Amino acid sequence: MVRQMSLTAAHVARVHRVVADPGAVPSALHDDADYAEWVRMILAAHPAPGQPVRLFAYGSLIWKPEIPHVAEAPARAYGWHRSFCLRQVRFRGSPDLPGLMMALDRGGQCVGMLYTLPEQDLPGQLNRLFRREFTVKPITNMPRWITVEAGGVRLPGLAFVMNRASTNYAGRVAPEAVADVLARACGHVGSGAEYLFNTVSHLEAKGIHDSGLWQLQRLVAERIDAL
């Protein structure tokens, strides 16, 4: 079934603007040793030694993968759901108009993609991935192993989940309030509307229909039309 999105590339173009990167406090940034230690800990904690490392992608890693993969399959994570619960004043938000980004939060379930990573230079690939997913301390998107189901088989998957102890955790935000933010917020890498548009369209292309995100893209389109 082909569904027509309400949110379009034209909507995204309307809210795009050039925003300077405010930067991060240097003392709060992870350094090379920090990333190397995170890679070591995650690989050491693999729940099934000998099996490939599989990455569970639920958002931008689907449409903008940072590292290569050798196989992919739809997968369902139980006990986790997509949520626009991460406040941002960089990337897709700014200090004067903070944005909201999607994270994997506790509760419910989530269908995404499970990517099997190549064995070649796995520590180096994970190091590169971690540098994309978290930059400042404390970490907002925590790398951890979760259990996912793919093809009727339960497998360990590496995922990035929301750190509820972070000061950037917004908690549960009503869809209408999320739409208000995404229709206006923009940062140096793009707008919240662009992020939502890319995520929903690529999920649909993979055969994954998220009813909550589908409702949200309609709400965002309505708000942009009203600007």
The three-state secondary structure class of 100 is: strand
Determine the pLDDT at residue 33. 96
Packing angle of the helix pair 211-225, 192-205 (nearest 10 deg): 140
Read off the pLDDT of residues 19-35 as tens digits, 9 standing for 90 and up: 999 888 777 899 999 99
DSSP codes joined into one string, 50-94: TSPPEEEE-SHHHHS-SS--SEEEEEEEEEEEEEEEEEESSSS--
Determine the pLDDT at residue 63. 94
Read off the pLDDT of residues 116-156 as tens digits, 9 standing for 90 and up: 999 999 999 999 999 999 999 999 999 999 999 999 999 99
CA distance 23 to 33: 21
CB-based contact 179:11 (threshold 8 Å)? no
Domains, in order of start, for the chain: 9-225 (3.10.490.10)
1: pLDDT strictly greater than 90: no
**Residues with Cβ within 8 Å of residue 194, at least 6 apart in sequence:** 12, 16, 92
Q: Using the CB atoms, write b or e for 194-207: b if 16+ within 10 Å.
A: bbbbbbbebbbeee
Read off the pLDDT of residues 121-130 as tens digits, 9 standing for 90 and up: 999 999 999 9
Determine the pLDDT at residue 110. 97
Q: Is the pTM of this model over 0.85?
A: yes
111: pLDDT strictly greater than 90: yes
176: pLDDT strictly greater than 70: yes
